[in-house]
Structure formats: structure tokens, C-alpha cells
Amino acid sequence: GALVYQYPRRTICKSGTSMRMECQAVGFQATSVAWYRQSPQKTFELIALSTVNSAIKYEQNFTQEKFPISHPNLSFSSMTVLNAYLEDRGLYLCGARDQTGRAEQFFGPGTRLTVL
């Protein structure tokens, strides 16, 4: 079956430092990977969408300078939260979609970021 792993599951960083998180797709080819953030008391919000062989598209209020993303192959993606502050805390989800044309995304369990 299709599985998505995320690492680390939980992390704590000091305010002003950076944190890198990873997403691994197993059992299918992750043609596109979407990164979401769920801030406390809010729903999931799309940060950016990465499609292999295409430019990464960031949503309004999110930038490459703040959330650089790498998607080097069909099984792996990483995102870094640069210069993290309190408002960056939350659960970061990776959603990967295969190349069969279905609209379904497979999600990882998320990386929970705490900023001190």
C-alpha cells in the first residue's frame, strides 16, 4: 500500500533557529508533494505545492525564503522552517499524490514543531 513517513515526528527549536523536516513516500511515486501547516486551534493550511519537473508554488503568506522546499526525486521531499518564531509552531503535514491521475493525497503523520 501507499505510505508516507515524516521525520522527525516532534521537534523543539529555539526562537530564531531553523528546523528541517523530511517526507518519504513508500509504495508509490510521489509526483507531487504538498506541505501543510496546522497552527494551534486552526485547520490545515497549504504552504506550498511541489511537483517534479515544475517550479514549487507557494501560497499567499508563505515564501521560499521562509520555507525552502526540496523535492529531488519521486520518493522524497524536505522542507525547512527558517528563522522559526512562535507563530511557526504547529503540525506540519506532508501530502503526496501519485501519478495515476487520482485526486487522492496520502498524508504522513506530521512533524510537530514547538518553538521556545
Partner 1 sequence: GDSVTQKEGLVTLTEGLPVMLNCTYQTIYSNAFLFWYVHYLNESPRLLLKSSTDNKRTEHQGFHATLHKSSSSFHLQKSSAQLSDSALYYCARTPSGYNKLTFGKGTVLLVSP
Using CA atoms, how far apart are residues 77 and 4, in angstroms rounded to an integer?
11
The binder of partner 1 chosen from 25, 56, 69, 93 (CB under 8 A): 93
Q: 16 or 38, CB closer to partner 1?
A: 38
Helix (H), strand (E) at residue 11:
strand 10-13
Torsion over CA: 47, 92, 11, 85 (sign): positive
Asked if 90 touches partner 1 (CB under 8 A), the answer is no
Is the separation of the CB atoms in 116 and 15 below 8 Å? yes
Is the separation of the CB atoms in 77 and 53 below 8 Å? no
Going by the DSSP 8-state scheme, the letter that residue 59 receives in this structure is P
20-28, 62-70, 78-86, 96-104 -> range binding partner 1 (CB under 8 A): 96-104
Provide the mask over 13-52, with x wherever binding to partner 1 is found by CB under 8 A and - wherever it is not.
-------------------x-x-x-----xxxxx--x-x-
Interface contacts to partner 1, rule CB under 8 A:
4, 32, 34, 36, 42-46, 49, 51, 59, 93, 95, 97, 103-110
